[in-house]
Amino acid sequence: MAVSSTVMIGHMEGKPMTASKIAHYLALPRTTVLRKLEILTEVGVIERRRRVYYVCNTMTLCNVSRYVDRVVRVIDDAAHDVRALNP
């Protein structure tokens, strides 16, 4: 998933992104990005602090057992996107 990969890149570079920045970076509608961010936040993969998004720590991921399948799928998609950026 490109949105989660973008959040991860911003977090790793110390430049967390807002929904608008993610939408601009990915050339996606802001509403689409917001919907995906909401899902990622709900399952505990990312967190919102004020207007910016960060990757959650592993302790948070351990606490979302009812979403494990969904979390694994999101992380797998993010890993695929990151690999595609670095052929």
- 56 DSSP assignment: P
Domains present along the chain, CATH in parentheses: 2-85 (1.10.10.10)
Convert the pLDDT of each residue in 50-73 to its tens digit. Answer: 999 998 875 455 455 556 677 677
- 3 DSSP assignment: H
pTM score, whole prediction: 0.65
Convert the pLDDT of each residue in 23-51 to its tens digit. Answer: 998 999 999 999 999 988 888 888 899 99
Backbone angles phi, psi at 24, to 5 degrees: -65, -45
Q: Output the 3-class SS for 33-55.
A: HHHHHHHHHHCCCEEEECCEEEE
